[in-house]
Amino acid sequence: MAGMRRRPGRLVALGAAALVIAADQISKDWAQANLAINQRITVISGWLSFQRTENSGAAFSFLTGHNELFILITAALLVLVGFLILGRLAPDRLTVVALGLILGGGLSNLFDRVRLSAVVDFVRLAFWPTIFNLADLAIRAGAVVVVLAVLLRQTRRGHLDRPVR
């Protein structure tokens, strides 16, 4: 229809997801091949090290040992993200890429849960309380970008300037 803007394509999100899955799985394969459980290798002294763990819980090892529950919850959330992508409901390319990051990170961690009954984590930052992986980083980055994109759209429309009644 004339006047309607075309929504960003699915291939952008699926490409972002594929890149995240590939990078995450390759890095986890490296960690499993080169690091024993809890072995630490310093990369940048006082800032970055690699230490392999296997997390059977959620972030911060929350609810450790409930793998089936996490598989179910993750699958349901990924269906929702997939619906947003495939239904072309994302309003702009930035949000599409962010959803692709979330999808890729979620699928990669889900693959670990199904295959290993745990998620392989190995990145340790001195200032961060937990060990994580590239999929976790992609999920967090994607979520932050989605929130910022929503706030930016709302600000541009003037919705954040009105008082709540």
**24 annotated active-site:** no
**112 annotated active-site:** no
Catalytic residue among 29, 112, 121, 161: 121
Count of all residues that appear for the chain in the document: 165
Interatomic CA distance for residues 10 and 96, integer angstroms:
8
Helices marked H in 87-118: 93-116
Buried residues in 51-86 as b, exposed as e (16+ CB within 10 A): bbbebbbbeeeeeeeebeebeeebeeebeebbebbe
Catalytic residue among 24, 112, 136, 161: 136
Position 11: which residue type? L
Active-site residue list: 121, 136
